[in-house]
A and B are shown apart, each in its own frame.
Chain A
Amino acid sequence: MPSADAIEEEVRQFLRDNFPLSADGVTLDREDSLIEVGVIDSTGVLELIGFIEERYEVEIADEEVLPENLDSIANITRFVGAKVGGGSNGAG
């Protein structure tokens, strides 16, 4: 099971690789809203879901697609940690 630090680094790498704004010198704080800073949009959310499902071999239900699970690097790290750890599935 990946550590929280490893998950966070992989998420940051995914954002850098796939979203131009993130790669273009914008430094994201852990708590920054990815939607509000314009890093991801409605298609980007689908992309993020696809990345998490494929990389961590988990399924994300529609009910789990909430800002508290996916809208910041901190939230994603916590949500993915809970999914792969088999504990709480995060909010929703």
Chain B
Amino acid sequence: MAPAELSPDTLRLDAERTVEEISERIREVVYKDLRRRGAVIGLSGGVDSSLVAHLCAHAFGPERVLGVLMPEGESAPDTLDLSQVAAEAAGVETVVEDITHLLEAAGCYERRDAAIRTVMPEYAEGWKAKIVLPSLLGNARYSLFTVVAESPEGERREARLTATAYREVVAATNFKQRVRKMLEYHHADRLDYAVVGTPNRLEYDQGFFVKNGDGSADVKPIAHLYKTQVYQLSEHMGVPAVIRERPPTTDTYALEQSQEEFYFSVPFDKLDLCLYALNEGLPVEAAAAATGLDTEVVERVFEDIERKRRAAEYLLAPPILLTNA
């Protein structure tokens, strides 16, 4: 393919072949390398975990797959239902673990709310909040992490976070992903299964996960797939439309928060093409033509991808042994 021919079709897969390749490889890894007898998957109601459930059911047989549903007090109302829909479509057994009390015991909500109050003193019980990172599109300013909160009466407030408050909020909310992973490993130990992770390529490459939280797993079967490819395979494998048509969400904050608002700043289909162009050494102009974005915006997206990669190095690093010390 000539570089200038980049288009959304560039990322189209031979779906059937890809499913068989992933299935074969994941069987090898789990049975031979890890010597475990099945798969545990944390189901979020999103397209990534739903696809992984389908792939594992295909690879191991649905009777060797357990979906763990882990809602908490601030989960979106449809999270649990959609997770069940995904599990039923894949034919896998599920267990529901409400993690609210574990999060309360860890001080997740209390620590986070105290941090928010340092920049927004009026934030009180009953308010909902989320963290946003304003869009890069058409904007030469730095993106600044901002807390957006809504009072019980529906009044919205915004405040720029300080570095300390931002870190406190993230550190507190990371309990959610870490508690979930703890429970996935509990079930994996109980059943002699492997924990199968659900990050896609964008999330894995760009560090959109919590270290030792959703970033932890024994095997990550879709971490090489672009998000658009995840959608293509999901449709091919019969992941229900209600899941495929739901906008990607973090489901981490009480106020509904899209992944774009928090982390990626441009829609994932455009980001996929920019990431591909950068990986393949294609010029900015090719990505601009394929995405419809201005070249200056693509340049900023490229820079942002490189910056996030640098930040992701810490998240992806395994424990480092000082063998030569």
Contact = CB atoms under 8 A, between A and B. Distances in A.
Contacts of A92: 141
Contact of A70 (B140, B142, B161, B166): B142
B95 interface: no
B141 A66 contact: yes
A41 B311 contact: yes
A50 B163 contact: yes
B142 A50 contact: no
B10 interface: no
Contact of B163 (A36, A47, A62, A63): A47
A65 interface: yes
Could you say which of B133, B142, B166, B167 has the most chain A C-beta atoms within 10 Å of its C-beta?
A: B142
A44 B303 CA distance: 16
Interface of A is mostly: helix
Nearest to B158: A62
Interface in B136-175: 140-145, 160-164, 166-167
Nearest to A51: B163
Could you say which of A36, A43, A46 has the most chain B C-beta atoms within 10 Å of its C-beta?
A: A46
A45 B167 contact: no
A27 interface: no
Contact of A41 (B141, B162, B307): B307
A42 interface: yes
B89 to A, nearest CB: 38
A42 B141 contact: no
B307 A46 contact: no
Contacts of A50: 162-164
Contact of A65 (B142, B162, B163, B311): B142
Given A47-B163, A63-B141, 12 more contacts: A38-B310, A42-B143, A42-B307, A46-B145, A46-B163, A62-B160, A65-B141, A65-B144, A66-B141, A67-B140, A67-B142, A92-B141
Interface of B: 133, 140-145, 160-164, 166-167, 303, 307, 310-311
11 contacts: A35-B307, A36-B303, A38-B307, A41-B310, A42-B142, A42-B145, A43-B145, A43-B163, A62-B141, A65-B141, A67-B142
